[in-house]
Amino acid sequence: MPGRHITDCQMRLYMKLRHTDTTPLAAAKAGFSPSTGYRIDKDPRLPSQKKAPRGRRRPDPLQAVWDSEIVPLLQAAPSLRPVALFEEIIRRHPELGTGIRRTLERRVRAWRALHGPEQEVIFRQVHEPGRMGLSDFTDMADLAITIAGQPLDHRLYHFRLAYSGFEHAHVVLGGESYVALAEGLQNALWALGGAPREHRSDSLSAAFRNLDRDAREDLTRRYDALCTHYGMEPSRNNTGVAHENGAIESVHGHLKKVIEDALLLRGARDFADLGAYRRFIDEVVGRRNARNTPRIEVERAVLQELPDRRTADYEDAIVTVTSTSGFVLRKVFYSVPSRLIGHRLRVRLFDDRLEVYLGGTHQFTLPRGRAHPDGKHGHVVDYRHVIHSLRRKPMALMGLVYRDQLFPRQAYTRAFEAMMGQLPVRTACRTMVDLLALAHERACEAELAERLDEDLKASRLPDLKSLRALFSPDAGAVPDIVVSHVPLSAYEELARVHQGEVA
């Protein structure tokens, strides 16, 4: 079979057959000619062992500069990027052309494998049941979640047990903070039913940002006290070294991908309210935990018992209500009922809400606001707190600093813009204030917003008189209450019976 190349497999078969067969017979069974068989008898090397090394097909484009210029640069600065080397060499020797870039990158990689500096080594760990729990935050902006049509700027607090893979996720509305960590961690431990012996965080680097030294030390003390309350040894990975928290850092991407898949299957990224979104996250994480049930049960058996109660997962603040019927906290203005003007209030600051106390009595709960990224103050305003005073000063609406936040729904904002475009300023302000007062007094905020939308779609301005008539109380719906008066003689008879029992 002249001209045909034999393979290693054919030659191995031939060598095996030669133990029992003659050269021509073994060659025929192996699939090649007897002459090839005789040649193999003289040189029993495999074909792959006879191949000459591949030689260079073109001149080395770096021959003139590699040893004289590139290697000295690499020795002086081992971390120098290949692209920087390429740009420097082209600047010095433009005649080499841009086609040398890939050749240079391969040559630099090979040089570093032989002569480069030692690199950091990752040490895989063996995890014990019940020893390590980890916490971290992950940004969720790329999932484009909306609540009632409004984008939700949020993160996930993510807790994980290193051994079993038990996970807990908590929606965080602000940034990374001690409050978010304390609330999320305690929710995770109480859902788990126990606490590990050690808890590792990412140094709360984002929470420390823009804090002075005393505030940082206070935050560290509170974190240490939180871990002590649950009998956990606090530990922190070094700032900027993500792999030290690898048992949770690497899982962030998997969790977000699972959430993304669940959103695609759901067919929508909008949720009716924050509670619905939190239940969705709980369901996704619950399904992930269900797959690890055997390992989780093994780890649960060796976890530490929980204390009798949770510890504080909020920050305390004292504020004074000013004449604006509100107070400022963390660069956010919050409105409160005007009866509290001049009083000092105690505020418990949670991640998503404020609990407001006068003395030891809880007064109300406010949604937590956030300052704008550009540093401007935020506003959390309830029109019911100021409407009584605004009715006496309707023109104050025109230049009100929190006017956009005063309107409870978009329909009121659009109605005011339409009236400002077609009515005198004074009339527009008076009408808008009266509409807000109507919504408050008749408890018809949502229904009134629907009517305002209908008027705007029909290119009509709101008719205050007809709206008042529409939302006036139904006289027929008020029940007639008849009070029957007991005759005085009944009281006298009761008194005589009582005296007889005493005697």
Rg (CA), the chain: 39
* Residue 420 neighbours by CB under 8 Å, 6+ apart: 428
Cβ 188 vs Cβ 168: under 8 Å: yes
CB of 263 closer than 8 Å to CB of 150: no
DSSP letter for each residue of 166-229: -EEEEEESSSS-HHHHHHHHHHHHHHHTSB-SEEEE-TTHHHHTT--HHHHHHHHHHHHHHHHH
**Residue 242: per-residue pLDDT:** 46
CA gap 354, 278 in Å, rounded: 19
How far apart are the C-alpha atoms of 195 and 154, rounded to whole Å?
27
> Which amino acid is located at 169 in the chain?
A
* Band of residue 486 on the pLDDT scale cut at 50, 70, 90: confident
Is residue 195 pLDDT above 90, yes or no?
yes
What integer pLDDT is reported at residue 362 of this predicted model? 92
Please, what is the Cα angle at 451 between 448 and 453, to 5 degrees? 110
pLDDT in tens, 152-174: 989 899 999 989 999 999 999 87
| Residues 197/187, Cβ–Cβ less than 8 Å | no
Asked whether the predicted pLDDT for residue 34 surpasses 50, the reply is yes
Contact 196, 232 (CB under 8 A): yes
- Residue 206 above 70 pLDDT? no
pLDDT bucket at 227, cuts 50 / 70 / 90? very high
Q: What pLDDT does 240 receive?
A: 47
Give the predicted TM-score (pTM) of the model: 0.62
Within 13 A of 152's CA, how many CA atoms are on the CB side? 26
- Cα separation, 237 vs 200, in Å, equals 7
**What pLDDT is stored for residue 315 in this prediction?**
86
- Tokens read off for 230: 């649950």
